[in-house]
Amino acid sequence: MKTLLKKALYQFKSYPIPSSYNLQLGYIFHTEMVFNDKMFKDLLHFCSEFKAITGTQPICTVMSGVSPKVADGMRQHKCEDKKLADRYHELGGFATLGYHGHFYLNPALFKRKEAEIRSNNFSKQNLKEQFTRDLEWFSSHNLPHNGLYAAGWWFMNQHLLAMLIEAGFAYDFSFSKHIHFRNQFSHKLMLENELRAGEPFEITIPGQGSIKEIQNLTGSPSTPHFQDFTRNLLHILDPSQPRVTGVINSHDYDLDLKNTLLLFRNLEKLSNVSFFDANQLLDKRLNLSYKPVSLSSTLFEGPSLT
């Protein structure tokens, strides 16, 4: 019934992307279940088909094998540490790898919602320990994160940004104007700095360095209706920012392979849509202009959970 109603609605209102917008789109995975044979097979297939359609590779930000969430899945699927790393190396032939972090107040209680670090329930000490352990796992398996990061549960704050900058990360994909893809810190930062949807920006922490931000625009579709995508996108676009650069996201486990590929086949037909990948960002081929954003030192003052 819902599908029929949408079909009828879109016959009267088609939600086209206005020609005044120039969209530069990438695709990013929050990759969490490569230990699952079918999901891994589907992910490789998608990446291959995506490149055939767009001429670009998606970004797959992956989780470490010492993440309690991943380690639990590895045990259930009888996937050893080396096998997971080998699959990431294989995936790197189809996509550009990055780092996807999920953090916990108590890793031993990772299945409890209250243990998840999302916004206010924050521990700098636990974050630092798990962040460091994750990166050590990447290094021990000679896995590149290519200086790319995407936040689990969209958790972001000044301390995580400082850790990313210190570790040499170049690009982050954790900020969004979309209500479903942000936390309190990222939403406030974007409002205070008057950042528009699809506007690249660069966050500087004085005395430490900076990291560039490419926004997450929206999620991938689970329906065959192209208008479901355009309707959601138009909801966040700002006419004063006609050049829109950003990524579309999904997890590996909730990817609708057929409908997401259909989306990009439809997008590829539009003259005001182009595609980019991580290599074009890293070697500056896109010639983007980044709005400067500076974090005040006062954000790092005062009491905090340790």
What does the pLDDT look like over 115-163, one tens digit per residue?
Answer: 999 987 788 999 999 999 999 999 999 999 999 999 999 999 999 999 9
The domain spans of the chain are 25-107+115-297
What's the predicted TM-score (pTM) here? 0.95
- Pairing type for strands 201-205 and 96-101 reads unpaired
- Answer CATH for 25-107+115-297 from 3.10.129.10, 3.40.50.2300, 3.30.420.40, 3.20.20.370: 3.20.20.370
The alpha-carbon radius of gyration of the chain (Å, integer) is 19
- CA torsion sign, 233 to 234 to 235 to 237? positive
Give 121 or 292, the one with higher predicted confidence: 292
Closest to 101 (Cα-Cα) out of 22, 157, 57, 44: 157
Alpha carbon of residue 2 to chain centroid: 29
Cα angle 250, 31, 208 (rounded to 5 degrees) comes to 100
Q: CA distances (Å), 157 to each of 13, 22, 32, 46, 162, in order?
A: 39, 30, 22, 32, 9
Higher pLDDT, 242 or 11: 242
